[in-house]
Structure 1
Amino acid sequence: MSTKTASVNHKLSTESLETLRQSIAEAPASPLGPFDQCDRCSKAARASFTFTDSVLLFCGHHMRTNLGSLLAASPAEFWVAAEDLWSVKGIDAPAQDHRRSGDGLTDS
């Protein structure tokens, strides 16, 4: 079993970057439900791309891996969780917040 990870180039065209910026600025409600899963793995879906003949759902990792080609295919509409765009150069995505309140042992 290999422990190497693939290096992914997240470089997008200027047009794709502008499309993503507009989508983040509009911040539409998520069309995804709690049971929607990535089409490539079993993780929760964090992005939805609607084409004329299909709807593709992706987790954050697979969305970032395929983002350039997905946007180049001109989807009819798409929704991406803005916090999953942290590694895309040229996009000011909100930082992921993994902090938890309390000591982890109680609810207070």
Structure 2
Amino acid sequence: MTNTATLEKPLSPLAIQLNEALKAQDPASPLNRQTICDRCPGAAQAIFTYERGDIYLCGHHMRANLATVLDGPVTSYWIEPSELGHIRGVGVPEQDFTRAGDGLTDA
């Protein structure tokens, strides 16, 4: 029988940084449906704030450039948690899609 505890890899520094950021991140998105990526016409899923301004990135541009963007002088950022599920060790909170009422009204 194999001891799986010895086979687990330690978390990457990026995963540790993102887990800490997710704990402090406001669950309400600062983005809306009209916010688009600065690189393509896709919907923005992340915002990175620098002293000179903000960068908005869609999911695939955020994933492709995440380490580079976070290595820069970013002052704050917000990332859609569901976009981080591909990074091993990042604790993405489960989304609750349940709604109260009969489904036809907001009651």
TM-score of the alignment, normalized to the shorter chain, above 0.5: yes
Once the 2 structures are TM-superposed, how far is the Cα of residue 20 of structure 1 from its aligned partner?
Answer: 1.0
Q: Deviations over 1:49-107 (max 9, x none)?
A: 0011021000111100000001111310000001000111221224689xxxxxxxxx8
CA distance in 2 between counterparts of 1:74 and 1:88 reads 22
Structure 2, unaligned stretches of length 5 or more?
1-10, 97-103
Within the alignment, does 1:23 sit opposite 2:58 as a pair?
no
Unaligned runs of 5+ in 1: 1-11, 98-106
Q: For residue 50 of structure 1, what is the amino acid of its counterpart? A: T
In the alignment, what sits opposite 1:79? 78
Does the residue aligned with 2:47 lie in a helix, a strand or coil? strand
Cα RMSD, aligned residues only: 2.3
TM-score by length of 2: 0.70
What letter corresponds to residue 17 of structure 1 in structure 2? Answer: A
- Radius of gyration: which is bigger? 2
Aligned to 2:46: 47
Give SS of 1:34's match: coil
Quote the sequence identity (%): 36
When the two structures are superposed, what TM-score results if normalisation uses the length of structure 1? 0.69
Q: How many residues align?
A: 87
